[in-house]
A and B are shown apart, each in its own frame.
Chain A
Amino acid sequence: MKLLPLEVWEELWAGLEGGLQEPLSLPDLRWLARQGRWACEFSRRDEGPQLFDLQVWARDLNQRHDLQLQWAEGLPTLRRGRPQALEYLLLALGWRGFAPLRIGGDDAELTFEAAGTVDEESLRGPLLAYLLAQLGARLDDGRLLRCPCPAQQSGVPVDLEALNRSCMDDAEFERELIETFTAEGRRQLASLAFNYSSHTLHSLKGSAAMVGALRLAEMLGEQEKALQKDRLPELEAEFQRVVAFLQSRVELSGPRG
Chain B
Amino acid sequence: MSETIQVYVVEDSPTQALGVKRALLQLPQLEVTLFHDGLEAYRAVQRNQPGLLLMDLILPSLHGLALCRLLKFHLDYKHIPLLIFSSITESDIAEQARRAGADDFLAKPFDPAELVERVRALLAKVTAS
Whether A209 and B109, one on each chain, are in contact in the complex, defined by CB atoms closer than 8 angstroms, is yes
Could you say which residues of chain B place their CB within 8 Å of the CB of A176? Answer: 18
Q: How far apart are the CA atoms of A203 and B12 in the complex, in Å?
A: 8
A-B contacts counted at CB < 8 A amount to 59
Residues B1-41 near A (CB distance < 8 A)? 12-16, 18-19, 22-23, 26
Q: How far apart are the CA atoms of A167 and B19 in the complex, in Å?
A: 8
Whether B16 and A168, one on each chain, are in contact in the complex, defined by CB atoms closer than 8 angstroms, is no
Whether B15 and A207, one on each chain, are in contact in the complex, defined by CB atoms closer than 8 angstroms, is yes
Question: Closest CB-CB distance, B95 to chain A, in whole Å?
Answer: 20
Q: Does A99 contact B (CB under 8 A)?
A: no
Interface string of B77-119 (1 = CB under 8 A from A): 0000000000111000000000000000000110111000000
Q: How far apart are the CA atoms of A199 and B14 in the complex, in Å?
A: 15
Question: Closest CB-CB distance, B56 to chain A, in whole Å?
Answer: 8
Whether A211 and B15, one on each chain, are in contact in the complex, defined by CB atoms closer than 8 angstroms, is yes
Question: Closest CB-CB distance, B88 to chain A, in whole Å?
Answer: 8
Q: Does B45 contact A (CB under 8 A)?
A: no
Whether B13 and A206, one on each chain, are in contact in the complex, defined by CB atoms closer than 8 angstroms, is yes
Whether B87 and A166, one on each chain, are in contact in the complex, defined by CB atoms closer than 8 angstroms, is no
A211 nearest in chain B by CB position: B15
Categorize the interface residue count of chain B.
Answer: 20 to 34
Chain B binder among A134-142, A177-185, A233-241? A177-185
Could you say which residues of chain B place their CB within 8 Å of the CB of A211? Answer: 15
Whether A209 and B108, one on each chain, are in contact in the complex, defined by CB atoms closer than 8 angstroms, is yes
Question: Closest CB-CB distance, B67 to chain A, in whole Å?
Answer: 16
Q: Does A165 contact B (CB under 8 A)?
A: yes
Q: How far apart are the CA atoms of A206 and B59 in the complex, in Å?
A: 13
Interface string of A172-211 (1 = CB under 8 A from B): 0100110011011000000000000001001111110111
Could you say which residues of chain B place their CB within 8 Å of the CB of A173? Answer: 22
Q: How far apart are the CA atoms of A210 and B15 in the complex, in Å?
A: 8
Q: Does B123 contact A (CB under 8 A)?
A: no
Question: Closest CB-CB distance, A167 to chain B, in whole Å?
Answer: 8
Q: How far apart are the CA atoms of A181 and B19 in the complex, in Å?
A: 11
Question: Closest CB-CB distance, B71 to chain A, in whole Å?
Answer: 22
Residues A211-257 near B (CB distance < 8 A)? 211, 217, 221
Q: Does A131 contact B (CB under 8 A)?
A: no
Whether A206 and B18, one on each chain, are in contact in the complex, defined by CB atoms closer than 8 angstroms, is no
B112 nearest in chain A by CB position: A168
Contacts A184-B13, A184-B15, A221-B89 given; does A206 touch B108 at CB 8 Å:
yes
Whether B112 and A165, one on each chain, are in contact in the complex, defined by CB atoms closer than 8 angstroms, is yes
Contacts A199-B58, A203-B13 given; does A210 touch B22 at CB 8 Å:
no
Q: Does A106 contact B (CB under 8 A)?
A: no
Whether A206 and B87, one on each chain, are in contact in the complex, defined by CB atoms closer than 8 angstroms, is yes
Q: Does A16 contact B (CB under 8 A)?
A: no
Whether B13 and A177, one on each chain, are in contact in the complex, defined by CB atoms closer than 8 angstroms, is no
Question: Closest CB-CB distance, B87 to chain A, in whole Å?
Answer: 5
Q: How far apart are the CA atoms of A184 and B11 in the complex, in Å?
A: 13
16 extra A-B contacts, CB within 8 A, seeds A209-B109, A221-B87: A166-B109, A168-B113, A170-B22, A173-B22, A176-B18, A180-B15, A184-B13, A203-B12, A203-B13, A204-B13, A206-B56, A207-B15, A210-B15, A210-B19, A210-B109, A221-B89
Return 16 A-B CB contacts under 8 Å, by A number.
A162-B109, A165-B111, A165-B112, A166-B112, A168-B23, A177-B15, A177-B22, A180-B18, A184-B13, A202-B88, A203-B12, A203-B58, A206-B56, A207-B13, A209-B109, A211-B15
Nearest 5 pairs of A and B residues by beta carbon: A207-B15, A209-B109, A181-B15, A206-B87, A203-B13
